Amino acid sequence: MKAGAPGVFRQAPGFPAFLTDQQEKGSTPMPIVFHPQSRTFHLHNASISYIFKVLPSGHLGQLYCGKALRDRPDFDRLFETAPRSMSVCYFDGDDAYSLEHIKQEYPTCGAGDMHLPALDAQMPDGSRLLDLRYQKHTVTPGKPPIEGLPATYAEQDSEATTLTVTLADPLAGVTVKLFYTLFEQLPALARHAEIACTGQGPVQLDRAMSLCLDLPDSGYEMVELTGAWARERHVTTRPLAEGVQAVYSLRGHSSHHFNPFLALKRPDCGEMAGEVYGFSLVYSGNFLAQADVDPYHVTRVTMGIHPQNFRWTLRPGETFSTPEAVMVYSDRGLNGMSQTYHQLYRTRLARGVWRDKVRPVLVNNWEATYFAFNEEKLLTLAAQAKALGIELFVLDDGWFTHRSNDHGGLGDWEVDTAKLPGGLKGFAEKLNAMGLQFGLWIEPEMVNAGTRMWDEHPDWVLHQPGRRPQPSRHQYVLDYSNPDVVDFLYRRLEALLDGVPVSYIKWDMNRSISDAFSCAAGPAGQGEVLHRYILGLYRLYDRLTSRFPQILFESCASGGARFDPGMLYYAPQCWTSDDTDAVERLKIQYGTSFVYPVSSMGAHVAAVPNHQLDRVTSLTTRANVAFFGAFGYELDLTQLSPRGQELVARQVEFFKQHRRLLQFGAFWRLQSPFAHNEAAWMTVSPDRETALVGDYLILQQVNAGYRRIRLAGLDPSRLYRVTPLGSGAAPCGQPYTAGGDELMQAGLVTTGGSQAQHEGDFVS
Ligand code: DGJ
């Protein structure tokens, strides 16, 4: 084909690659365009297009979602219909116009679509029929917040544009607003829905998804993050097949087991290239994320609060907001998808003074002492930590009364003065005098039997009167759906923290929620309890983080059971897993990085043999893995040999020197521990001047072959000085220079060096 022949789009020098109608007419380009004649919405920026239209019936038909397309007055060719016998027809005699076969934006139940819907409600007459049709729309600069819920945001109006489309079914008395925010610089679209009862009501919502997307084919693999306690967020991939495939949580928190995320990737999509759609829910409770493939190979993705155990009553004039779901498109492979999530979640979901600040190096006393400590022991550990360069001392579980093991104590939040004679204030001041900051563990959603809270407020515990609630880790869940409970805890925690120089809080949550019955809710409100619990949790986080804006919050739920975007809005980092073994952490951190930025992953060097699985790894390997996270130590530093102390001091110094790069650089996964005996990843500074590569060999191989890793994200035209690092991150081997192109194309030669065969297993 000759240049300029039909089919070739040639870009004239100095012109933008994509021309919109407005640009053709000379007006300001808008990333969200409405073409009135074809009633088509085109949400687009330089990398993504999302197109749908108002159909003749008033329903919203999905036309395209993917790589950016030039804007056109219409995209009607993408509206696929074919006459199909036996279909339910919207217009009598037109058997090509069936909601059963039309790809839709927010499908409902009973009005012709036979798939699982986005919205399912029961109206006052018992009907479940909902037929939502277009009323109006607005396009506004910026992004409105979602009342009471975490969400991505825009700092300047120019960063994002929001389309709101209003749909209504007057007979049902239901109005739905669909919100779509397109970020100007990112291939990311944030969506949520607001459902209102505009009739006599009440309307009962049984399913209200945040996002629905009908994709025209099913040639995808579904990627999900699965696991269990201490092996969270392993990467699992399976081809889509006809029928429903889903991940979910019914545990009251987002869970160790599945993360509120799924991706659909083309089978040839890998880390570095290929097409993938990511879907991530900004929510911390029960969720459902599913792909439903119909017999015509249309794939419907839905994501939102899990409909099981959910029933929300809307009275006249009331509205319900779903949580936000964020869709990301990448044609640069899985790394491209992850980097978009990292950038968006790190800079426009996380908030507060700690968002852009490098995180302090901490020592946490949990694996060092468990419950067996007193002030003297802690101060000895702290003195050693300080001597090694550590900045923050975190006092974990066990500092309050009746807490010598995990059978008692939760709920009263009174300092055990037998352990800390000067209280939290006295202890914190001693740390401060040493030059260390003070951090504190709390678990404010729980109560143990036998505490004052338990005895005085039995109705504040989630349970059904007359039925024994079931303990887990010997504890019970407080009813955060009851505003009185949230208010009480706010006041208790405020009083506890007030006047104490606390720099950091680790907020733990150590069980799944059972017995989700609220004594405060009444019969009609029980279906709302689990969502109201999460709203109460968010409210408490919001109040505490607003009252103590200088405190760095780290969320935690028996390790990583609530590692989700909702939590990141309040706490910019999260304890990634209770598994502190370096080799297990390779998988956990690799999987976590599919969605979450390195700065959000709490990662500690722990003792060996490792407390979760007895494995012995070198101090160097443990630090080399933990460096790629919010770095710290969680072992008895006083037990280190002189050589160990020297190594830790060097590691801390190295980390401090490079933490901005490690925590905020562009993170690339290079080699997967799920597929290989080696793992590798790297982080690159925004100016592409500096990069750090983590390269890990799991099991040694006798007489092994040669190995190179192809790096990524470098400037191909630059010369880089390559410094191999060994124990204590000290330079080892001869530095040399290599071109960015060479390192990315030919690869970094890793044969030999620190991976000499005599070093044993688990080296890096
Ligand atoms: C579970 C957390 O994940 C641990 O780090 C530790 O804080 C314990 N809870 C304390 O009970």
Indicate whether residue 510 lines ligand 1 (CB < 6 A): yes
Distance CA 390, CA 637 (A): 11
Distance 634 CA to ligand 1 centre (A): 11
- pLDDT at residue 9 in the model: 24
Distance 141 CA to ligand 1 centre (A): 43
Distance 506 CA to ligand 1 centre (A): 9
Indicate whether residue 399 lines ligand 1 (CB < 6 A): no
Q: Which of 363, 367, 396 to mutate to test the pocket of ligand 1 (most atoms within 8 A of CB)?
A: 396
Main-chain dihedrals φ then ψ at residue 488, nearest 5 degrees: -60, -45
DSSP 414-464: -B-TTT-TTHHHHHHHHHHHHT-EEEEEE-TTEE-TTSHHHHH-GGGBS--
- pLDDT at residue 759 in the model: 65
Taken in order 604, 608, 611, 612, the sign of the CA dihedral is positive
Indicate whether residue 508 lines ligand 1 (CB < 6 A): yes
Distance from chain centroid for Cα 380: 37
Residue nearest to atom 9 of ligand 1 (CA): 558
Indicate whether residue 364 lines ligand 1 (CB < 6 A): no
Distance 324 CA to ligand 1 centre (A): 29
Indicate whether residue 397 lines ligand 1 (CB < 6 A): yes
Among the atoms of ligand 1, which is closest to the Cα of residue 506?
7
Distance CA 698, CA 22 (A): 56
Among the atoms of ligand 1, which is closest to the Cα of residue 406?
11
Indicate whether residue 441 lines ligand 1 (CB < 6 A): yes
Q: Where are the alpha helices (DSSP H) in 30-99?
A: none
Residue 520 has a CB neighbour count (10 Å cut-off) of 15
Element (H, E) at 348: helix 333-348
Distance 390 CA to ligand 1 centre (A): 21
For residues 287 and 254, the answer to whether their CB atoms sit within 8 Å is yes
For residues 74 and 109, the answer to whether their CB atoms sit within 8 Å is no
Indicate whether residue 507 lines ligand 1 (CB < 6 A): no
If we measure between CA atoms, which residue out of 303, 277, 300 comes closest to residue 47?
A: 277
Indicate whether residue 559 lines ligand 1 (CB < 6 A): yes
Indicate whether residue 556 lines ligand 1 (CB < 6 A): yes
Partnered with residue 697 across adjacent β-strands are 678, 763
Q: Where are the alpha helices (DSSP H) in 181-282?
A: none
If we measure between CA atoms, which residue out of 664, 650, 457, 492 comes closest to residue 572?
A: 664
Distance CA 537, CA 252 (A): 12
Q: Which of 404, 443, 510, 585 to mutate to test the pocket of ligand 1 (most atoms within 8 A of CB)?
A: 510
Main-chain dihedrals φ then ψ at residue 529, nearest 5 degrees: -60, -45
Indicate whether residue 290 lines ligand 1 (CB < 6 A): no
Distance 325 CA to ligand 1 centre (A): 29
Indicate whether residue 34 lines ligand 1 (CB < 6 A): no
Block mean pLDDT (10 aa), the chain, length 764:
26 28 42 97 97 97 98 96 88 91 95 94 97 97 98 97 98 98 98 98 97 98 98 98 98 98 98 98 98 97 98 98 98 98 98 98 98 98 98 98 97 97 98 98 98 97 97 98 98 96 98 98 97 98 98 98 98 98 98 98 97 96 98 98 97 98 97 95 98 95 90 98 90 93 96 57 78
Residue nearest to atom 2 of ligand 1 (CA): 558
Catalytic site includes residue 508: yes
Distance CA 427, CA 413 (A): 16
Indicate whether residue 632 lines ligand 1 (CB < 6 A): no
Distance from chain centroid for Cα 369: 31
Distance CA 685, CA 657 (A): 13
Indicate whether residue 558 lines ligand 1 (CB < 6 A): yes
Distance 74 CA to ligand 1 centre (A): 56
Measure the N-to-C terminal CA separation of the chain; round to a whole number of Å: 51
Distance 32 CA to ligand 1 centre (A): 46
CA atoms within 13 A on the CB side of 685: 11
If we measure between CA atoms, which residue out of 709, 712, 714 comes closest to residue 724?
A: 709
Indicate whether residue 400 lines ligand 1 (CB < 6 A): no
Indicate whether residue 578 lines ligand 1 (CB < 6 A): yes
Distance 94 CA to ligand 1 centre (A): 61
Indicate whether residue 366 lines ligand 1 (CB < 6 A): yes
Q: Which of 504, 556, 580 to mutate to test the pocket of ligand 1 (most atoms within 8 A of CB)?
A: 556
Distance 446 CA to ligand 1 centre (A): 13
Distance 407 CA to ligand 1 centre (A): 14
Residue nearest to atom 1 of ligand 1 (CA): 558
Q: Which of 441, 443, 574, 588 to mutate to test the pocket of ligand 1 (most atoms within 8 A of CB)?
A: 441
Of 412, 564, 578, 581, the active-site residue reads 578
Indicate whether residue 575 lines ligand 1 (CB < 6 A): yes
- Torsional class of 142: left (φ above 0), alpha (ψ -120 to 50), beta (otherwise): left
Catalytic site includes residue 578: yes
Distance 559 CA to ligand 1 centre (A): 7
Indicate whether residue 396 lines ligand 1 (CB < 6 A): yes
> What tokens were used for 105?
């934006």
Q: What separation in angstroms does the CA of 610 have from each of 107, 387, 616? A: 50, 24, 6
CA dihedral 411, 412, 417, 419 (to 10 degrees): -10
- pLDDT at residue 295 in the model: 95
Among the atoms of ligand 1, which is closest to the Cα of residue 396?
7
Indicate whether residue 678 lines ligand 1 (CB < 6 A): no
Distance 443 CA to ligand 1 centre (A): 9
If we measure between CA atoms, which residue out of 18, 39, 74 comes closest to residue 31?
A: 18
Of 508, 564, 579, 581, the active-site residue reads 508
> What tokens were used for 591?
């999987």
Residue 80's Cβ-count burial label (10 Å; 0-12, 13-18, 19+) is: middle
Q: Which of 400, 442, 508 to mutate to test the pocket of ligand 1 (most atoms within 8 A of CB)?
A: 508
Indicate whether residue 427 lines ligand 1 (CB < 6 A): no
Distance 214 CA to ligand 1 centre (A): 41
Q: Which of 472, 507, 575, 588 to mutate to test the pocket of ligand 1 (most atoms within 8 A of CB)?
A: 575
